[in-house]
Structure 1
Amino acid sequence: MDSRDWGRFLLPYEQAVEELKVKFKTLRTEFKSRDEYTPIEFVTGRIKRISSILEKAKRLNVPMDKLETGIEDIAGIRIMCQFVQDIHRLSALIRARKDMVVVYEKDYITNNKESGYRSYHIIIEYPVQTSLGLKPVLAEIQMRTLAMNFWATIEHSLNYKFKEHLPSDIKVRLQNAAEAAYQLDQEMASIRDEIISAQQHFEDKTHLVSRVLNGIQDLYYYHRIREAAQFQLKFNELWETEDMWQLKELSQELQEALQRAKRSNS
């Protein structure tokens, strides 16, 4: 297979990665738009390097004409989650989707690898619309917590340096680090509700402050200079006290003032 053939071969996989990234980023946005907690922290994607495809094909005895079915992770996306519970929730959402078919799942969280690696993998069949018609491609969705991802990134770098032959002392230390990362996830899971509540409070406050400041700017736009300045003074006082209840009342008063300004301007 020459470079042009590889380009044509990888094209539907590249399309699949881009489309899947958009779909899961959109899912995250949907949760946010409904003011719901989102199990998705962020999403990344990649196409396996040609050298990695060839190495894996050789290791698994996959012939060149069987790459599409023999190598399942040529296209891959990675979804980061805050908590292990988020991974289980997200995997259920993926199973329920109609735009992709789950082929099988590999739970390396419950059954971690000997190295200490933990992650949740789902192999899906995803239909890509090409110029020649619909083409189903295999893709891998990896779901990890941030702690799992930190460990896996370090392990990958070390394996690359030592060409998959890690010194025994480093192996042991990596296993210990993996266990520490797992315990961190367990501790975070035990106070998950408190963390989510604190994050929601922060987001509510951020949205409220933005709404007030945007409203003050709108009053200036309608040439309500004195009224805008009065609201700004009130906001400055409340910002010092961090009184959310009075900030909400101020926001409501501001919206009423904007309605009056719009009516008198029409």
Structure 2
Amino acid sequence: MNWEEFLDPYIQAVGELKIKLRGIRKQYRKQNKHSPIEFVTGRVKSVESILEKMELRGIAMEDMEKEVPDIAGVRVMVQFVDDVHEVIELIRQRKDMTVVQERDYINYKKPSGYRSYHVIVEYPVETISGRKVILAEIQIRTLAMNFWATIEHSLNYKYRGEFPQEIKERLELTARIANQLDEEMGKIRDDIQEAQLLFDPVYPTLHDGVGNSDDTDEVYR
């Protein structure tokens, strides 16, 4: 199998989705409005990670495109939990992609404490061979959720999913703290947004969000 040729449409899709989502942020900020989108990053799953997931779940090669929906992955970070729902609605309303699945790990967190909202979309990519519709996963989460998930992922990789009891307990504790942080920040959301505008009144014009260095892509599986 020619993996480079296979992954090219996914690479293109991630690039286009990042530009479009950052463009939404730019539009909000140009109107001096709070943008529900804070940062956008993306990645294409490595061949090693794809094969590992397929082996773990017993997925045949011919079913890979439909059974591994996160080969193309985009992550949207937001400031507040309410912003998550606003971003989801923006995605649902778009005409250039179709939502085919949603997984709410915010209201229904995983046993580990992981919280995020996952949206699987069908996204058309135009290539020299014609249009190809691929699946892409968009993860939407607060900065607190992302911090916890990043740490948990690193530890999970280190311990291969078999956490020592002390680490497991501390992860559960910090997950609750991250959740509490989101709740408390939500209660003073209006004050925070007002303070941000007062602190940096030119922020909307300086940080336009397209090709911006604050959106450094993450390495995530």
The runs of 5 or more residues in structure 2 that have no matched partner are 207-221
Of 173, 180, 184, the match for 2:177? 180
1:74 and 2:74 matched: no
Of 13, 19, 27, the match for 1:22? 19
User: CA-to-partner distance for each residue in 1:143-199, whole Å, 9 max, x for gaps?
Assistant: 111111110111011011111211122111101100000000000000001101111
Report which of the two structures shows the higher radius of gyration computed on alpha carbons: 1
The amino acid of 2:78's aligned partner reads: C
Correspondences of 1:87-166 after superposition (within 5 Å): 87-166=84-163
Q: Find the residue that maps to 1:127 and give its secondary structure.
A: strand
CA distance in 2, matches of 1:203, 1:98: 34
1:243 corresponding residue in structure 2: none
1:11 and 2:8 matched: yes
The amino acid of 1:175's aligned partner reads: E
CA distance in 1, matches of 2:157, 2:83: 30
2:34 corresponding residue in structure 1: 37
| TM-score when normalising by structure 2 | 0.90
Q: CA deviation at 1:203?
A: 3.2
Correspondences of 1:216-231 after superposition (within 5 Å): none
CA distance in 1, matches of 2:101, 2:190: 31
The amino acid of 1:39's aligned partner reads: P
CA distance in 2, matches of 1:196, 1:172: 34
Report % sequence identity. 55
Q: Report which stretch shifted further, 179-188 or 194-203.
A: 194-203
Which has the larger helix fraction? 1
CA distance in 2, matches of 1:203, 1:27: 20
The amino acid of 1:73's aligned partner reads: D
CA distance in 1, matches of 2:32, 2:136: 30
Would you say how many aligned residue pairs link Structure 1 and Structure 2? Answer: 204
2:81 corresponding residue in structure 1: 84
Of 36, 47, 68, the match for 2:44? 47
CA distance in 2, matches of 1:138, 1:146: 25
CA distance in 1, matches of 2:54, 2:69: 11
CA distance in 2, matches of 1:171, 1:123: 29
User: CA-to-partner distance for each residue in 1:31-51, whole Å, 9 max, x for gaps?
Assistant: 111111100111000011111
